[in-house]
């Protein structure tokens, strides 16, 4: 399939694996890129720029296809060494960066001078327009359904994607709730030029996480995610568990007075315990409503082939037969 996204990134299929903390390691990024999509290493999961440089080298040894790095800009009192991470990306010869969190304006000159294509992930049309204005090459439009941080506007993709299509000149992919060929065809119909998936890629053979995480996604329905940290204006969609329900009880009890310190036990240092140790009650971890559409753990290659085959059948058989009934 050829879209502005496949052309921009030099990939075979318009399918991107979004940055995922403690999931987006070289193994997954390389598997996605080898299957013809675009795999992304999650920059901040590597504790230092030196470790990111090593992860980039590891990924390069596993694939000769294009891959990228996610750089998430978090509001933080002690920010990570962003200049160091940007330099590691440039020195590592990576040509695609997914930015998220804050607007990447400060880093655009360095990234653009190094010939890097920037896809900015955001959850509103106004942020997408800002990214376009500062020179981003593409947008990942992340709807309210998404796993992780959906922002505070709560606009689902059935509205957000056509709004983005009306407003943007640069190409965009649909992110949040994407699982299969139906998602891809719907996203294309709504104006996107591809899809970005997070949760669906965790439940694959190559995702370097504990099997308990994959089985939790397979077992979950579309009713099993919760929105946490809304009172802190840092809303995150997570899979429910004992710790998440305790966190929500604190939010109800403390109301507007709640602070980040109050919920530290449910959010701090949780990712390694969930993703590596498989301790599924350890705390809040991002997961999309799309878990309700996931019921197996294929290889990345099987998943991507299945998505493309299903999309092709939908377009050329189901939809075409409606236009041209026998
Ligand atoms: C476990 C997990 C961790 C994530 N970590 C990050 C992250 O560190 N940075 C980021 O930009 N997005 C992160 N995301 C969001 C994904 O990149 C993607 O935008 C989102 O999962 C899309 O929604 P979906 O899960 O419905 O496919 C994370 C998502 C999940 C499920």
User: What size, in residues, is the chain?
Assistant: 326
Block residue for tokens 């939908």:
314
Confirm or reject: Cβ of 18 under 6 Å from ligand 1.
yes
Tens of pLDDT, residues 268-286 = 999 999 999 999 999 999 9
Q: What pLDDT was estimated at residue 74?
A: 83
**CB of residue 194 inside a 6 A radius of ligand 1:** no
What confidence score (pLDDT) does residue 57 get?
98
Share of the chain above pLDDT 70, in %: 100
How many angstroms is it from 143 CA to the middle of ligand 1? 12
Residue 206 has pLDDT above 80, yes or no: yes
Expressed in angstroms and rounded, the spacing between residue 236 Cα and the centre of ligand 1 is: 10
CB of 70 within 6 A of ligand 1: the answer is yes
What tokens were used for 266? 């449910």
CA of 199 to the centre of ligand 1 (A): 7
* Alpha-helical runs (H) found in the chain: 4-9, 26-34, 49-62, 82-91, 108-113, 125-133, 157-167, 181-189, 199-202, 211-219, 242-254, 264-267, 270-275, 300-313, 320-323
- Cα 226 to ligand 1 centroid, rounded to whole Å: 15
Strand, helix or coil for residue 271: helix
The encoded tokens of residue 271 equal: 């990712």
What is the structure's pLDDT at 225? Answer: 98
The domain ranges of the chain are 4-209
Q: How far is the CA of 114 from the centre of ligand 1 (A)?
A: 26
14 C-beta closer than 6 A to ligand 1: no
Residues in contact with 294: Cβ distance below 8 Å, sequence separation at least 6, in sequence order:
179, 199, 200, 203, 217, 218, 220
Tokens 């790095």 label which residue?
A: 69
Q: How far is the CA of 116 from the centre of ligand 1 (A)?
A: 22
Q: What is the pLDDT of residue 239?
A: 98
Residue 75 has pLDDT above 90, yes or no: no
Residues 6+ apart with CB under 8 A from 97: 68, 69, 70, 71, 89, 111, 116, 117, 118, 119
Q: Is the pTM of this model over 0.95?
A: yes
Residue 139: alpha-carbon gap to chain centroid: 12
CA nearest ligand 1 atom 19, residue? 18
Confidence (pLDDT) at 76: 77
Span 34-52, pLDDT tens digits? 999 999 999 999 999 999 9
β-strand partners of 226? 238
The chain-wide mean pLDDT, for the chain, equals 97
Contacts (Cβ under 8 Å, ≥6 apart) of 264: none
d(C-alpha 170, C-alpha 151), whole Å? 22
Q: Ligand 1 atom closest to Cα of 18?
A: 17
Q: What is 4-209's CATH number, 3.40.50.150, 3.30.56.10, 3.30.360.10, 3.20.20.70?
A: 3.20.20.70
What is the rounded distance in angstroms from the CA atom of residue 155 to the CA atom of residue 63?
Answer: 37
DSSP run (H or E) holding 120 = strand 117-122
- Indicate if the pLDDT at residue 77 is higher than 80: no
- The span from the CA of 251 to the CA of 137, in Å, is 39
Share of the chain above pLDDT 90, in %: 98
Q: Identify the pLDDT of residue 303.
A: 99
Q: What's the CA-to-centroid distance between 20 and ligand 1, angstroms?
A: 5
286 CA to middle of ligand 1, Å? 7
The CB of 72 under 6 Å from ligand 1? The reply is yes
Here the tokens at position 198 are 């997070």
| Nearest Cα residue to atom 6 of ligand 1 | 20
- Which residue's CA lies nearest to atom 30 of ligand 1? 286
CA-nearest residue, atom 7 of ligand 1: 20
Could you read off the pLDDT of 284-299 as tens digits, one per residue?
999 999 999 999 999 9
Q: Which of 18, 226, 270 to mutate to test the pocket of ligand 1 (most atoms within 8 A of CB)?
A: 18
Using only C-alpha atoms, the chain has a radius of gyration, in whole angstroms, of: 19
Q: How far apart are the first and last CA of the chain?
A: 27
Residue 50: what pLDDT?
Answer: 98
Instruction: Judge whether residue 176 has pLDDT over 90.
Output: yes
Confidence of residue 151 (pLDDT cuts 50, 70, 90): very high
If you average pLDDT over residues 12-36, what whole number do you get? 98
Q: Is 287 in the pocket of ligand 1 (CB under 6 A)?
A: yes
């Amino acid at each position: 399939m050829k879209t502005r996204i496949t052309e921009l990134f030099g990939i075979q299929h318009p399918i991107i694996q979004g940055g995922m903390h403690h999931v987006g390691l070289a193994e997954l990024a390389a598997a996605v890129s080898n299957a013809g999509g675009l795999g992304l290493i999650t920059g901040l999961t590597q504790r230092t720029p030196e470790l990111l440089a090593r992860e980039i080298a590891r990924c390069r040894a596993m694939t000769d296809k294009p891959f990228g790095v996610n750089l998430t800009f978090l509001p933080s009192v002690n920010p990570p060494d962003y200049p160091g991470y940007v330099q590691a990306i440039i020195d590592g010869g990576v040509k695609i960066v997914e930015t998220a969190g804050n607007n990447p304006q400060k880093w655009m000159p360095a990234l653009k001078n190094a010939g890097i294509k920037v896809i900015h992930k955001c959850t509103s049309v106004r942020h997408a327009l800002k990214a376009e204005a500062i020179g981003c090459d593409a947008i990942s439009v992340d709807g309210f359904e998404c796993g992780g941080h959906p922002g505070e506007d709560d606009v689902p993709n059935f509205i957000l994607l056509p709004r983005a299509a009306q407003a943007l000149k640069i190409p965009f992919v649909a992110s949040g709730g994407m699982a299969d060929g139906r998602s891809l065809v719907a996203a294309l119909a709504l104006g996107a030029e591809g899809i970005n998936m997070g949760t669906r890629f965790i439940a694959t053979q190559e995702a370097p996480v504990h099997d308990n995480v994959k089985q939790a996604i397979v077992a979950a329905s579309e009713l099993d995610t919760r929105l946490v940290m809304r009172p802190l204006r840092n809303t995150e969609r997570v899979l429910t568990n004992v710790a998440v329900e305790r966190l929500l009880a604190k939010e109800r009890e403390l109301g507007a007075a709640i602070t980040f310190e109050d919920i530290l036990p449910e959010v701090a240092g949780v990712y390694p315990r969930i993703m590596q140790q498989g301790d599924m009650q350890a705390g809040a971890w991002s997961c999309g409503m799309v878990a309700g559409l996931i019921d197996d753990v294929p290889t990345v290659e099987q998943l991507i082939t299945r998505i493309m085959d299903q999309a092709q059948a939908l377009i050329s058989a189901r939809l075409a037969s409606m236009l041209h009934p026998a």
